[in-house]
Chains A and B, each alone.
Chain A
Amino acid sequence: MTLDFGTTLGGAWFPSPIFTASGCASSGKELSQFFPLREIGAVVTKSIMLKPRAGRPTPRMAETPSGMLNSIGLQGPGIDAFLIEDIPWLAAQGARIIVSIAGETAEEYAVLSRKLRGVFGISALEVNISCPNVENRGLVFACDPNSASEVIKSVRSIIGGDLPILAKLTPDVTNIASIASAVINSGADGLALINTVLGMVINTETMRPHLGGKTGGLSGPAIRPIAVRAIYQVREALPNVSILGMGGVATGKDALELILAGASGVSIGTASFGDPSAVIRIQRELHQLLQDKGFQSLKEAVGFAHRQE
């Protein structure tokens, strides 16, 4: 009995539910030294902005118990260089590609969408409206249903039906299900849950915030229960919406936990920092675990923790 490991997210099909997480795989080249990118579900590229961006000052990192804070600030080459250098390379590897985009205004997301519409080889868009490492917390669109909707509407209006759109949300809100409903009603096909959790470390030697950007995004196994909770709550509120889950997944068992909560796909982020082969290892472990538990398809396991009997 072979396991049907395929999954669909917002209408796009992938042969495996295990993906990289945006911001934790750059554009794939670095990890390709450790495993063939075509063997995983998809590469989710680091959130790309319109213009090249230097990011925040160092220190950008602090390790915390079972986690880390990062304060990168969306450093990147800008969309034009990305389209010339990264997308064709990824496509040539036979990798499936989900492009993550980030902007400072709804208009910027629209311009990015215009540049990406019709680009060969892209399976879906992740609209990152929840990066915590921006100068103004007011720019975290996903903290407010209206601004979150505005961004998704502007992307949808440009993309039309060409590509599935996944809205990436933050758990740093009072009611994540209400934000999720707002973006789905505005045209998102699915959700990416969760972005990092806003945190801070104070250096007890200097007695000042350790990170150059003062605050940073907490990731790693420390936040996994938050991801499981957020996915579970959203699945409960919106049972027909597909979810790409992420947050501290380091083993196949962790991935299964997110899937049981309601994720149709799982992105591997911080685990790749500690183990460059984490993505392919977790994929292997999850496949084995699903078989051991008697599932005939991945789809049967999605949301299985919500069953009534």
Chain B
Amino acid sequence: MPINRHALQLLAPVVSNRRLGIYHQIVLEVGDLVRTIKPGNFIAISVGGENSKLILRRAFAISRVHDRGTLELIVSPMGSGSKWLCAQPEGATLDVVTPLGTAFGIPTESVTALLVGGGYGSAPLFGLADVLKDRGHRVIMALGASTAGKIYAPIEGRRSATLLKIYTEDGSAGDTGRVTDSLLELIEEFDVRVIYSCGPMAMLEAISTIANQADIAHQCAVEESMACGIGICMTCVIPVKNAQGEIKNLRSCIDGPVMDGEAVQWQLVGEQL
């Protein structure tokens, strides 16, 4: 199958840009392209304008899409690129490439799915939750962050979840502790068959260990810094074991961002293969 076969480069108008606590919710108009976007796919956006010293695109997980031809991003204005993006007014146009990368697989038989997000890594899980619920699956969500302000859990996003658990390390919202602390209990209590996760690498690694113990599937959206987002620069690699048992550096932009948590060799990330 051709790589990124639905991907297009286009100019997308900013429909709205709202501050939500420490994050920005940015809605872009991409027209019919929304029909080809699946939960887990990402968008690569050119930042900084024409005379910018920022030469690389920024990759963002797509939070959700709307039938009216718009897509939604949750952006944390941390670096110079994301700050520029968060400063774009309604009506500005952005040079975007989307949809890119792999998508979350949706089970064919009705199951209970556990969606685990760290920080604004929860963003793409809300679009996924809608799709899972529409296809007749039960959705449990567990979101964690260091503090309440870093939890992203919009009211309208909660509708698709039967249960939403929140964890903060400082106890400022939900249970005190890490999102991974009580995953095993949640898995047993709700007879969870698949975990979907998005967030920091350490969290994904911890979830992989738990999914292994519980012997259930784990699809995670990995994050490694990318220069291109389309598979040509080879910077965003992650060590993954293939069906033959060989460990290879795979590109998280093309072979990911959604990967099988069990196949990712977390202990080898950042090591020489």
Contacts and interface: CB of A to CB of B under 8 A. Distances in A.
Interface of A: 23-26, 29-34, 46, 54-61, 63, 65-68, 70, 72, 75, 212, 220-221, 250, 270-277
Interface of B: 2-5, 7, 9, 46, 53-57, 95, 97, 224-228, 230-238, 248-249, 254, 269-273
14 contacts: A24-B233, A25-B232, A31-B232, A46-B234, A55-B249, A58-B270, A61-B226, A63-B55, A68-B227, A70-B233, A273-B56, A274-B55, A274-B228, A277-B9
B55 A270 contact: yes
Nearest to A75: B234
A65 B53 contact: yes
Contact of A61 (B97, B225, B231, B269): B225
Contacts, number: 113
A221 B97 CA distance: 22
Given A59-B270, A272-B228, A273-B232, A54 B248 contact: yes
Contacts of A58: 224-225, 235-238, 269-270
B53 A30 contact: no
A30 B230 contact: yes
A274 B57 contact: yes
Which among B227, B237, B270 has the highest number of chain A CB atoms within 10 Å? Answer: B227
A30 B56 contact: no
Contacts of B233: 24, 61, 70, 72, 273
A25 to B, nearest CB: 6
Contact of B235 (A61, A65, A277): A61
A229 B57 CA distance: 28
A212 B236 CA distance: 12
The 4 closest A-B CB pairs, nearest first, are A54-B273, A61-B235, A273-B228, A30-B231
A60 B235 contact: yes
A32 B97 CA distance: 14
B190 to A, nearest CB: 35
A33 B272 contact: no
